[in-house]
Amino acid sequence: MLCRQHHPIQFPRRFRLRHRLLCFPGKVSDFSNADVAVDQYHRYNEDIQLMKDMGMDAYRFSIAWPRIFPNGSGEINQAGVDHYNKLIDALLAKGIEPYVTLFHWDLPQALEDEYKGWLDPRIIKDFATYAETCFEKFGDRVKHWITFNEPYTLAIQGYDVGLHAPGRCSVFLRIFCRAGNSTTEPYIVGHNILLSHATAVDVYRKKYQQKQHGSIGLSFNVMWFVPKTNSTADIEATQRAQDFQLGWFIEPLIFGNYPSSMRSTVGSRLPAISSSESALLKGSLDFVGINHYTTYYGSNDTSDAFGRLLNDSLSDSGAVTLPFKDGILDPIGDRASSIWLYIVPRGLRSLMNYIKTKYGNPPVIITENGMDDPNPPLINIKDALKDQKRIKYHNDYLTNLLASIKEDGCNVKGYFVWSLLDNWEWAAGYTSRFGLFFVDYNDKLKRYPKDSVRWFTNFLKSP
C-alpha cells in the first residue's frame, strides 16, 4: 500500500484522487496500532543504558497530553506525572539531557468529542494549561522544550489528506473521510496551533523561564525544494511551495504574519492575524527545530480545470513537488524504504543556508533526520543489522550539516537522529524501520544494535 507517513508527496491535482484511492481503505498500512509499540514505557531504563553506551548526551521524547490530563483538562493523572518524573530523572542520572516535545499529535479524545479539537479556539487555553502543568512539574530539570512536532503534518494529514487523526477531508472525498473541508480546515487548525504555541511560550517566559533557565521552540518538518527547471515559473513555484510548507508556520513566529504568497492566494480562507495576535506570535521562538529527511523538485502546477475539482490546501501553492525530474526512472536520489524518502544530502546544507538568509540565522536544532529500511514479514535479523545504507545516509547528511556550520556560518546547535529504536511509524505502522537498534516484534521486543550503532558510537567519541 502506498500510504505516506510524515510527508505528503504533492501530486498534480489530476493525480491526487488516484493517490488517495491507493491509500484506502485503512489509515495504517499494516492495520496495526501503537498500544504497546516498543514498550519504552516499561523499558526506559534499558533504553537509556543503550544511549549511554553509545555516548549520547541528549534524548528527545514526547510527553503525551492524555497521560497528564486524560480528559484534556481538569484533574491531573498523577501516575502519568510520576512516569515522566522517573524517565527524566533516569536520563539525567546517566548524563543525558532531556529535550521534551509537548505535542506529537496525540490529542485527548475528550477534546475532540467536546469541541472538535484543533478546529476550535478553545484548544488554545486547554493547551496552555497542559503546557504550564508540564513546566511546573518538570521544568526544574527539563531545560529544552518543543511545543509542537510538525504542525504542517498535523494540519495537512489530519485535515486535508485525511490519513492521520482525526481523518478529515472535503465533501468531494467523503468516501475517505466522514467529515471535513480541505479548503479551510487546515488553515484554521494551523492558526490555532500557532496561537497555542505562542500562548504557551508567553506563559513560560513570564512565569518560568527566568527561574528555570530553559529554552522553548517548535519543530517544523521541512523538505528542501529545488526548481525542476531554470524557468521563472518553476523558480517562483518552488518558492511558493516553501512558503506553504515552512513559511506557513515559521513566518508568523518570526515576522508576525503569514507569507504574502499565502495571504494573496488563500484570501479569506486563511485566518487573519490581528495586531494583538501578531505581537504574541512574533519572537516566540528561542530556537528553530527542523525535521528534515529529503529533497524534491518543484515546478509550476499547470493542471487543467477538471483537476481543480480536487482543490484543497495542497493545491493553493500552485506548485507540484515530486522526487522525479523526467518520470520515475529519473529520481532526485536513491530511495529509502518509504515512498516519500529520497536521499539527497546536499539538501540539508541548502536548507540551513535558506533559514540563515531568510530568517536572520536563528539557533537551529535538527530535531529529526534519518532513513528507514523495509520490514518484510520474514525478515532476517542478521541481515537487517547490516545497515550500511543508513550509515552512508547519516555520514553524508552530517558532512553537509558540518559544512553549513563551518563554511557557511549557519547557527546550528544540535542534531537528533530519527530514531533510536525501530518503532510504530504512524500510517506506515510497523512496515518501516528507522531505528539504529533493531526491535524484534516477534520475540519480546528485544533490542539488537545495527551496524549504525557502532558507527555512531565511534562518531561520538571522535574529537
Active site residue 368: yes
Which amino acid is present at 279? A
- Separation of alpha carbons 121 and 86, rounded Å: 33
- Please tell me which residue in 150, 185, 251, 277 is annotated as part of the active site: 150
Q: Cβ distance 439 to 446 under 8 Å?
A: yes
In sequence order, what are the residues at sequence separation of 6 or more whose Cβ sits closer than 8 angstroms to the Cβ of residue 302?
none
Q: Tell which residue, 400, 386, 387, has the closest CA to residue 349.
A: 400
Q: Cβ distance 123 to 77 under 8 Å?
A: no
- Separation of alpha carbons 1 and 372, rounded Å: 16
Active site residue 150: yes
131-134: long-range contacts, CB 8 A cutoff, minimum separation 24 = 131/102, 131/200, 131/203, 131/204, 132/200, 132/203, 132/204, 132/207, 133/68, 133/69, 133/76, 134/63, 134/68, 134/100, 134/102
**In what helix (H) or strand (E) does residue 220 lie, and over which residues does it extend?**
strand 215-221
For residue 342, the cross-strand partners are 335
253-257: long-range contacts, CB 8 A cutoff, minimum separation 24 = 253/194, 253/197, 253/198, 253/218, 253/281, 253/282, 253/283, 253/284, 253/285, 254/282, 254/283, 254/285, 254/359, 254/360, 254/362, 255/282, 256/281, 256/282
- Please tell me which residue in 75, 368, 407, 425 is annotated as part of the active site: 368
* Residue positions annotated with a catalytic role: 150, 368
